[in-house]
Amino acid sequence: MRASDRAYVTILDEIQSGILAPGTVLGEVDQSTRLGVSRTPLREALGRLAADGLVVQASPRVTVVSDIDADDIRELFDLRRALEELAARLAAARDTSERDRFAALAAEFARTDAAADPDAYYALIARFDGALDAAVANDYLTAAMRNVRTHLVRVRRLARDKPERLAASVSEHRLIASAVGAGDADLAAHATHVHLHNALTSILESLETSA
């Protein structure tokens, strides 16, 4: 792996996990030393993160982790709703061999205890997202969703400590996967809409509680 790629992956993971909180200063000298890379690959990594919207330039040599507030989250979910409802509808409507895969994923969601192992649950969601991308088979749509998911990892942390929300999310994903597997495009889109509405409501409530 190139030095710039290694730096990008490390900082991305730290931002998404909350190790690097919003507003954290990422000075070139400090980060180069910490990550064991020279300034050129570090600048490349920070440039990619800036393009992702995860960091912003405070000065020519100082970068900070971007903030994320309620308005940002609402805007993110506006885009997410448009993309994911369309993806679910397309995946269900297309005659594809992926249908059995979604039925199997629905069965996995039915057996999942997200509150007991949130990390395993989010890994299952990642596999569901991968299956959705494969079924849609639209590079433009999946690229747009990939960018949204980059930010969602940060946002999802706000709901990780709410067992009741995790349990509801499992049921919602099971219904979406079942609908796609059954080829019911309307139900797949509607179930996605309900899931995203509930997820956004829960996250905004978490922000208000912590404010």
Note the pLDDT tens digit of each residue in 124-142: 999 999 999 999 989 999 9
The span from the CA of 166 to the CA of 145, in Å, is: 22
Structural Rg of the chain based on CA atoms: 19
Closest CA to 206 of 172, 176, 164: 164
Residues in the chain: 211
Q: What percent of the chain has pLDDT over 90?
A: 60
The span from the CA of 203 to the CA of 194, in Å, is: 14
Sheet order of strands, 55-59 included: 25-27, 62-65, 55-59
Give the start-to-end residue ranges of the domains of the chain: 3-65, 70-210
Task: Report which of residues 161 and 9 the model is more confident about.
Answer: 9
The span from the CA of 189 to the CA of 201, in Å, is: 18
CATH code of the domain made up of 3-65 = 1.10.10.10
Residue position matching structure tokens 């942390």: 157
Q: Contact, 185 vs 129, CB < 8 A?
A: no
The span from the CA of 194 to the CA of 205, in Å, is: 17
The span from the CA of 177 to the CA of 27, in Å, is: 44
Q: Contact, 100 vs 172, CB < 8 A?
A: no
Average per-residue pLDDT for the chain: 90
pLDDT at 8: 92
> Predicted confidence band at 158 (pLDDT cuts at 50, 70, 90)?
low
Reported pTM = 0.84
**Count of helices and strands (H, E) across the chain:** 9, 3
Are domains 3-65 and 70-210 of this chain identical in fold? no
Of the candidate ranges 37-41, 102-106, 113-117, 207-211, the one whose mean pLDDT is the lowest = 207-211
Query: What architecture (CATH level 2) is domain 70-210?
Result: Up-down Bundle (1.20)
> Predicted confidence band at 163 (pLDDT cuts at 50, 70, 90)?
confident
Q: Contact, 136 vs 142, CB < 8 A?
A: yes
Question: What is the token pair recorded at 135?
Answer: 């079924």
